Amino acid sequence: MNTETINCDLCGSDQSEQLLVGQDFLHGTKGQWPVVKCIDCGLIFTNPRPAPESLAQVYPDDYNPYRQRKRKKINRRWKIRRWAMQHHWNYPPGPGGLFAKIFSFLFILWTRFHYRNYDLFPWQGRGKLLDYGCGGGKYLNRLKDLGWQVTGMDMSEQAVEVCKKQNLDVRVGINMDKEFEPEIFDAVTMFHVLEHVPSPTETLTQVNRILKNDGLLVFAVPNIASLPARWFGKCWFPLDLPRHVTHFSKETAEKILAKTGFKLEKTLAQQHGQTISSSLNYLARVTGKQKFKCFSRFKRICYLVELLSILRGQPARIVVQARKVRKINLNTEPPK
């Protein structure tokens, strides 16, 4: 596999310190991958990393997000959730009276501890939304159910085909500048994408261009500053080397947003449920100690441990909500 060595994507520095050296536990591709921290700005990234011409080797055809998923049934819980979002966040057809507002507020508060928090964000403008890195369209369908007028984009032709079979408007590629006119979207979502792209600042600059003024950006990324990341080190499940090339924390996410014309509004914890048990399995493989594998079978205890990291404010995954506050052109702006 060919590799490339890069400078820090956030500040351009070539000065870094090595934090750990990991491997591909998920798909077993060969190689040892150093994770480094920029000495100047603190951004953490994989360096060296797979070169662009070798990416096909680290994303096999059966890569999970590309698969078609069964569409979730519209059950009673989903209907209540949609109702709450209508009254709390002005989703169509618009909010009702005071009682609806109070109960929807309580429901949204409750969902913070029970859901993955992906689609829990306010309505924006006329509801034109791009889901960048849409995979097999799972969340495009959910967002469409909530009333958004959705467009998707993904680098995988296979994933785009899966979406098109479901009559979704989806483009193939990674360059948003080529596909879309400036300032046409009210909201852009990126669920577990930014950690994969070669240059997050370039991707966010493109998002800045296609978003309307005051537009909403929502993305989810693993949190390298989390408690589970510190506990498990190179065995931390969401590290996912070498596919994850940038490893964000809330602090570095905020810096990269500021550089690309956004203001961070809030971060939420995203629950997963398998972070601890999968990390324990990796730990068993590395150390050869079967006791870690045994621990990993106690799913409820693993779940409680994950909940503990969320309650301590250091969850393994974060959902970041940001707003476009200024237009950006990196070619004419001095680097920060």
C-alpha dist (Å) from residue 14 to 52, 245, 330: 20, 16, 19
Measure the CA–CA gap between 24 and 46, rounded to whole angstroms. 12
Which of 39-47, 145-153, 227-235, 277-285 is the region at the interface with Zn ion (rule: CB under 5 A)?
39-47
The token pair at 191 is 């669920």
**Which of 4, 14, 40, 251 is in the footprint of Zn ion by CB under 5 A?**
40
Question: Does 11 engage in binding with Zn ion (CB under 5 A)?
Answer: yes
At 125, which helix (H) or strand (E)?
none
Question: Does 41 engage in binding with Zn ion (CB under 5 A)?
Answer: yes
**Which of 22, 25, 35, 38 is in the footprint of Zn ion by CB under 5 A?**
38
**Which of 2, 5, 13, 329 is in the footprint of Zn ion by CB under 5 A?**
13
Q: How far is the CB of 49 from Zn ion (least distance, A)?
A: 15
Question: Which residues 153-182 are close enough to bind Zn ion by CB under 5 A?
Answer: none
**Across the strands, what pairs with 211?**
185
Reduced to 3 states (helix: H, G, I; strand: E, B; else coil), residue 168 is coil
Q: How far is the CB of 6 from Zn ion (least distance, A)?
A: 11
Measure the CA–CA gap between 316 and 308, rounded to whole angstroms. 11
Say which residues have a Cβ less than 8 Å from residue 287's Cβ, sequence separation at least 6. Answer: none
Which of 10-18, 62-70, 119-127, 216-224 is the region at the interface with Zn ion (rule: CB under 5 A)?
10-18
The answer to whether the CB of 142 falls within 8 A of the CB of 121 is no
Measure the CA–CA gap between 16 and 246, rounded to whole angstroms. 14
Q: How far is the CB of 43 from Zn ion (least distance, A)?
A: 5
Which of 1-9, 76-84, 148-156, 263-271 is the region at the interface with Zn ion (rule: CB under 5 A)?
1-9
The answer to whether the CB of 323 falls within 8 A of the CB of 215 is yes
Residue nearer to Zn ion on the CB measure, 94 or 334: 334
Question: Does 10 engage in binding with Zn ion (CB under 5 A)?
Answer: yes
Question: Which residue has tokens 């700005």?
Answer: 41
> What is the x/- site pattern for Zn ion, positions 193-232, by CB under 5 A?
----------------------------------------
Positions touching Zn ion (CB under 5 A) are 8, 10-11, 13, 38, 40-41, 43
